[in-house]
Protein backbone atom coordinates (compact mmCIF):
# COMPACT_ATOMS: atom_id res chain seq x y z
CA UNK A 1 0.00 0.00 0.00
CA UNK A 2 2.75 2.41 0.98
CA UNK A 3 4.73 1.61 -2.19
CA UNK A 4 1.67 2.20 -4.38
CA UNK A 5 1.14 5.60 -2.83
CA UNK A 6 4.79 6.53 -3.40
CA UNK A 7 4.68 5.54 -7.06
CA UNK A 8 1.50 7.56 -7.60
CA UNK A 9 3.17 10.53 -5.90
CA UNK A 10 6.28 10.25 -8.09
CA UNK A 11 4.13 9.98 -11.22
CA UNK A 12 2.33 13.18 -10.20
CA UNK A 13 5.67 14.92 -9.69
CA UNK A 14 6.89 13.92 -13.15
CA UNK A 15 3.64 15.07 -14.77
CA UNK A 16 3.97 18.55 -13.27
CA UNK A 17 7.76 18.91 -13.32
CA UNK A 18 8.69 22.52 -14.11
CA UNK A 19 11.03 23.43 -16.96
CA UNK A 20 14.41 24.22 -15.42
CA UNK A 21 17.67 25.84 -16.43
CA UNK A 22 20.19 26.03 -13.61
CA UNK A 23 18.59 27.91 -10.71
CA UNK A 24 15.65 29.16 -12.81
CA UNK A 25 12.44 27.14 -13.07
CA UNK A 26 9.21 27.82 -14.92
CA UNK A 27 6.16 26.27 -13.28
CA UNK A 28 2.50 25.97 -14.34
CA UNK A 29 2.93 27.50 -17.81
CA UNK A 30 -0.27 28.22 -19.72
CA UNK A 31 -1.54 30.26 -22.62
CA UNK A 32 -4.96 31.79 -22.89
CA UNK A 33 -7.08 30.46 -25.75
CA UNK A 34 -7.68 33.04 -28.47
CA UNK A 35 -10.60 33.94 -30.71
CA UNK A 36 -10.30 33.29 -34.46
CA UNK A 37 -8.44 36.18 -36.08
CA UNK A 38 -6.82 37.41 -32.85
CA UNK A 39 -3.39 38.88 -33.50
CA UNK A 40 -2.03 38.60 -29.94
CA UNK A 41 -2.19 36.11 -27.09
CA UNK A 42 -1.23 36.05 -23.39
CA UNK A 43 1.11 33.60 -21.66
CA UNK A 44 1.45 32.98 -17.93
CA UNK A 45 3.67 30.98 -15.54
CA UNK A 46 5.37 31.08 -12.17
CA UNK A 47 9.10 31.76 -12.51
CA UNK A 48 11.40 30.93 -9.61
CA UNK A 49 15.06 31.76 -9.08
CA UNK A 50 16.77 29.59 -6.45
CA UNK A 51 20.21 31.01 -7.32
CA UNK A 52 22.28 33.66 -5.58
CA UNK A 53 22.19 36.19 -8.43
CA UNK A 54 19.36 38.09 -10.09
CA UNK A 55 18.24 36.88 -13.49
CA UNK A 56 16.08 38.65 -16.04
CA UNK A 57 13.40 37.32 -18.36
CA UNK A 58 14.09 39.06 -21.67
CA UNK A 59 11.45 37.50 -23.94
CA UNK A 60 11.13 34.41 -26.06
CA UNK A 61 10.27 32.87 -29.38
CA UNK A 62 7.71 30.41 -30.66
CA UNK A 63 6.61 28.92 -33.98
CA UNK A 64 3.04 30.24 -33.59
CA UNK A 65 3.81 33.99 -33.28
CA UNK A 66 6.12 36.58 -34.81
CA UNK A 67 7.54 37.56 -31.40
CA UNK A 68 7.16 36.94 -27.66
CA UNK A 69 7.55 40.01 -25.45
CA UNK A 70 7.33 40.56 -21.69
CA UNK A 71 4.59 43.06 -20.76
CA UNK A 72 3.45 44.77 -17.61
CA UNK A 73 -0.17 45.74 -17.09
CA UNK A 74 -1.18 48.74 -15.01
CA UNK A 75 -4.37 50.71 -14.45
CA UNK A 76 -4.27 54.29 -15.73
CA UNK A 77 -7.55 55.61 -14.31
CA UNK A 78 -10.08 53.19 -15.76
CA UNK A 79 -7.87 52.19 -18.66
CA UNK A 80 -5.67 49.08 -18.59
CA UNK A 81 -2.33 49.73 -20.19
CA UNK A 82 0.19 47.13 -21.33
CA UNK A 83 3.80 48.06 -21.87
CA UNK A 84 6.90 46.09 -22.82
CA UNK A 85 9.17 45.64 -19.79
CA UNK A 86 12.36 47.41 -20.81
CA UNK A 87 15.59 45.64 -19.93
CA UNK A 88 13.76 42.45 -19.00
CA UNK A 89 11.74 41.34 -15.98
CA UNK A 90 13.97 40.91 -12.90
CA UNK A 91 13.70 37.65 -10.94
CA UNK A 92 15.39 38.27 -7.59
CA UNK A 93 17.73 35.66 -6.07
CA UNK A 94 15.62 33.36 -3.91
CA UNK A 95 12.50 35.01 -5.32
CA UNK A 96 9.72 34.33 -7.77
CA UNK A 97 7.57 36.32 -10.16
CA UNK A 98 4.08 35.28 -11.21
CA UNK A 99 3.08 36.05 -14.78
CA UNK A 100 -0.70 36.23 -14.48
CA UNK A 101 -3.77 37.88 -15.99
CA UNK A 102 -3.87 41.55 -14.95
CA UNK A 103 -0.14 41.65 -14.19
CA UNK A 104 3.12 40.77 -15.87
CA UNK A 105 2.59 38.43 -18.81
CA UNK A 106 4.12 37.09 -21.98
CA UNK A 107 2.62 38.70 -25.06
CA UNK A 108 2.60 36.62 -28.23
CA UNK A 109 2.56 39.23 -30.98
CA UNK A 110 1.62 38.49 -34.58
CA UNK A 111 -0.18 35.19 -33.90
CA UNK A 112 -0.07 32.96 -36.95
CA UNK A 113 -3.12 30.94 -35.92
CA UNK A 114 -5.62 30.77 -33.03
CA UNK A 115 -4.53 29.04 -29.80
CA UNK A 116 -6.94 26.20 -29.11
CA UNK A 117 -7.84 24.96 -25.65
CA UNK A 118 -6.11 21.66 -24.81
CA UNK A 119 -3.17 21.96 -27.20
CA UNK A 120 0.45 22.41 -26.11
CA UNK A 121 2.69 25.12 -27.55
CA UNK A 122 6.43 25.34 -26.99
CA UNK A 123 7.83 28.78 -26.21
CA UNK A 124 11.58 29.10 -25.81
CA UNK A 125 12.04 31.70 -23.07
CA UNK A 126 15.22 33.76 -23.02
CA UNK A 127 16.87 34.73 -19.72
CA UNK A 128 19.89 37.01 -19.30
CA UNK A 129 21.82 34.39 -17.28
CA UNK A 130 19.98 31.05 -17.62
CA UNK A 131 19.88 31.47 -21.41
CA UNK A 132 17.22 29.78 -23.52
CA UNK A 133 14.67 27.60 -21.74
CA UNK A 134 12.12 25.68 -23.85
CA UNK A 135 8.80 25.53 -22.00
CA UNK A 136 5.66 23.64 -23.00
CA UNK A 137 2.63 25.87 -22.45
CA UNK A 138 -0.83 24.33 -22.30
CA UNK A 139 -3.66 26.33 -23.82
CA UNK A 140 -6.42 26.86 -21.24
CA UNK A 141 -9.83 28.56 -21.24
CA UNK A 142 -10.02 32.32 -20.65
CA UNK A 143 -11.06 31.97 -16.98
CA UNK A 144 -8.16 29.65 -16.05
CA UNK A 145 -6.13 30.56 -12.97
CA UNK A 146 -2.42 30.13 -12.28
CA UNK A 147 -1.59 26.62 -11.15
CA UNK A 148 -4.42 24.88 -12.97
CA UNK A 149 -6.75 24.97 -9.97
CA UNK A 150 -4.23 23.29 -7.64
CA UNK A 151 -3.02 26.58 -6.25
CA UNK A 152 -5.49 28.68 -4.31
CA UNK A 153 -3.64 31.70 -3.01
Interface residues toward Cu ion, by CB under 5 A: 71, 82, 107
Of residues 25 and 89, the one with the C-beta less far from Cu ion: 89
Taking the complex as a whole, the smallest distance from the CB of residue 20 to Cu ion amounts, in Å, to 26
Taking the complex as a whole, the smallest distance from the CB of residue 75 to Cu ion amounts, in Å, to 14
Taking the complex as a whole, the smallest distance from the CB of residue 143 to Cu ion amounts, in Å, to 18
Cβ 85 vs Cβ 128: under 8 Å: no
Of residues 25 and 29, the one with the C-beta less far from Cu ion: 29
Q: Exposure string (b/e) for 105-143, b if CB count within 10 Å is 16 or more?
A: bbbbeebeebbeeeeebebbbbbeebeebebebebbeee
Of residues 51 and 103, the one with the C-beta less far from Cu ion: 103
Cβ 66 vs Cβ 56: under 8 Å: no
Amino acid sequence: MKIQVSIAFLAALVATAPAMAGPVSVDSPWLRETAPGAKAGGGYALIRNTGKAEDRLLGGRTAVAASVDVHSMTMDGNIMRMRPVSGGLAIAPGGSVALKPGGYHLMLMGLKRPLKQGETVTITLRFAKAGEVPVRFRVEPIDHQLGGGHDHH
